């Protein structure tokens, strides 16, 4: 799942997308693609996994499990969201089809 045209490691690229979504306050694929310079297809794959796990809803990222502007980043939860974005982990309530 390497973003076309980049040399970023795929996990680094996914983390950039997640951090961008949290900081910008949007999960809009077009906006994230423009901001990160990753392809819409790459970000759409991440979006599919995040939406399936009910973490991206109505263009909002439910990132409070790992991101608090005052307290910083909970790295363990951030890595869990990264795994979810990559499709290698699911929340218990995720769609299975």
**pLDDT tens-digit profile of 7-56?**
567 779 999 999 999 999 999 999 999 999 999 999 999 999 999 999 99
C-beta separation of 87 from 15 below 8 A: no
C-beta separation of 66 from 73 below 8 A: yes
Distance, CA of 74 to CA of 18 (rounded, Å): 13
Q: What per-residue confidence (pLDDT) applies to 95?
A: 78
Tokens standing for 11? Answer: 């996990």
Q: Strand 56-57 vs strand 60-61: parallel, antiparallel, or unpaired? A: antiparallel
For 42, list phi and psi in degrees, rounded to 5. -60, -50
For the CA atoms of 92, 59, 23, 32, the dihedral, rounded to the nearest 10 degrees, stands at: 110
The H or E element spanning position 75 is helix 75-86
1-15, 46-60, 64-78: least confident range: 1-15
Q: What per-residue confidence (pLDDT) applies to 94?
A: 85
């Amino acid at each position: 799942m390497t973003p076309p045209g980049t040399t970023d490691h795929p996990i680094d690229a996914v983390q950039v997308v997640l951090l961008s979504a949290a900081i910008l306050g949007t999960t809009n694929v077009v906006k994230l693609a423009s901001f990160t310079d990753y392809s819409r297809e790459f970000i759409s794959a991440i979006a599919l996994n995040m939406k399936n796990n009910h973490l991206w809803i109505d263009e909002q990222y439910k990132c409070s499990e790992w991101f608090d502007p005052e307290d910083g980043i909970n790295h363990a939860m951030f890595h869990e969201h990264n795994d979810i974005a990559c499709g290698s982990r699911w929340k218990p309530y995720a769609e299975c089809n």
